[in-house]
Amino acid sequence: MALKRIAVLTTGGDAPGMNAAIRAVVRSAVNNKLEVVGVFRGYWGLINEELKLLDHRSVSGIINQGGTILKTVRCPEFQTEQGQKRAFQTLKKNSIDGIIVIGGNGSFRGAHEFYSKYKVPCIGIPASIDNDINGIEATIGADTAINTALAAIDNIRDTATSMERIFIVEVMGRDSGYIALRVALTGGCEDVIIPERKLDFEALCDDIVNGNMRGKVSWIVVVAEGAGSASEIAKKITELTSLETRAVVLGHIQRGGRPTAFSRDLALNLGKAAVDCLLKGETDKAVGLNNGKIITVDLSVAITKKELDVDHLCDLIKALT
């Protein structure tokens, strides 16, 4: 059956570059004579039939904007049989014969489960600041988030050096230390605490005290939110070392802002690739970048745990301290 009308939605945590991906999907689909329906608020909009036909002009002027014009929510209802059934009814009622899901790991889990039950052709475009999709190198938005966090760390470095203090800086990443590792390395930070590695708190305090005795009096330790709270860690360090420590939580500023050239480039390439996949009859896959090439990965693989080269990165950070 020839494809006539597809839907596009963004779901889960927003990521800078989602808008560029929507633009690429809409324009390449329309250029291939497809109709494109924008679904508002992700899976919630599928369940509640919040749809709007999109054309070339609907996606003008958004390439440089963070966030998503389609809005996004986390939608527990889509994990239920009833929610999925209602989503399927919306697709049928509106003659939608393919879906493009722009989101991260949780969003792809939903897409994979929905496809296995209802067999509506579906392609995922990886977009999440966490870079948590297996089988591909980068998700849309991760590079922007890292650069945003890095700019903040550079500012913190100025005051940390001037006032000779220890800073614990909390970055995003509930289940993944990806942002923390990349920011700690590129920000020249002294240590990193991530969910993938058990923290040896005494060793960290020993390092700080020994460094202090050698004249290294300012430290920046990056902690991923899933590995602990910056304020609690700072408090414990002060208790154990008697050194003055400050905590900073960068929070949601990492999710917003103008996408970097890399995030946009990736979004535009993957947006077009996703439409091409649907046109070729591919389904239940994610598009992604690997060794400079656009590839596809089965959603069943994309949702499995992405292993980071934690040992290498941690060793590198320590070796350069």
Give the C-alpha separation, 93 to 95, whole Å.
Answer: 6
173, 187, 228, 259: residue in contact with ligand F6P (rule CB under 6 A): 173
Q: Is 129 in the site for ligand F6P (CB under 6 A)?
A: yes
**Min separation Cβ 278 and ligand F6P, Å:** 25
Residue owning tokens 């494109």: 36
**Min separation Cβ 13 and ligand F6P, Å:** 2
Residue from 14, 55, 97, 130 carrying the catalytic annotation: 130
Whether residue 35 contacts residue 7, with contact meaning beta carbons closer than 8 Å, is answered with no
Question: What is the per-residue DSSP string for 56-102?
Answer: GGGGTT-TT--S-TT-----GGGGSHHHHHHHHHHHHHTT---EEEE
Pairing of strands 35-39, 51-54: antiparallel
The HSE-up count of residue 106 (CA atoms within 13 Å, CB side) is: 19
Task: Please work out the total of residues on this chain that contact ligand F6P, with binding judged by CB under 6 A.
Answer: 12
8, 10, 11, 13: residue in contact with ligand F6P (rule CB under 6 A): 13
Tokens of 154: 């550079």
Nearest to 192 by CA among 217, 172, 221: 221
Q: Indicate the residue among 130 and 143 with the shorter CB distance to ligand F6P.
A: 130
Q: Indicate the residue among 252 and 312 with the shorter CB distance to ligand F6P.
A: 252
In sequence order, the 6+-apart residues with CB closer than 8 A to the CB of 203 are none
**Min separation Cβ 189 and ligand F6P, Å:** 18
Nearest to 171 by CA among 156, 150, 190: 150
Residue owning tokens 């949780």: 106
Q: Is 41 in the site for ligand F6P (CB under 6 A)?
A: no
Q: Is residue 139 helix, strand or coil?
A: coil
Which span (33-41, 55-63, 83-91, 172-180) binds ligand F6P, by CB under 6 A? 172-180
In sequence order, the 6+-apart residues with CB closer than 8 A to the CB of 269 are 24, 289, 294
Tokens of 116: 């296995």
Q: Is 130 a catalytic residue?
A: yes
Query: From residue 253 to residue 272, what is the string marking binding to ligand F6P with x (rule CB under 6 A)?
Result: --x-----------------
Q: Is 130 in the site for ligand F6P (CB under 6 A)?
A: yes
Q: Is 174 in the site for ligand F6P (CB under 6 A)?
A: yes
Which span (29-37, 60-68, 126-134, 180-188) binds ligand F6P, by CB under 6 A? 126-134
Query: From residue 94 to residue 123, what is the string marking binding to ligand F6P with x (rule CB under 6 A)?
Result: ----------x-------------------
Interface with ligand F6P (CB under 6 A): 12-13, 74, 104, 128-130, 172-174, 225, 255
Q: List active site positions.
A: 130
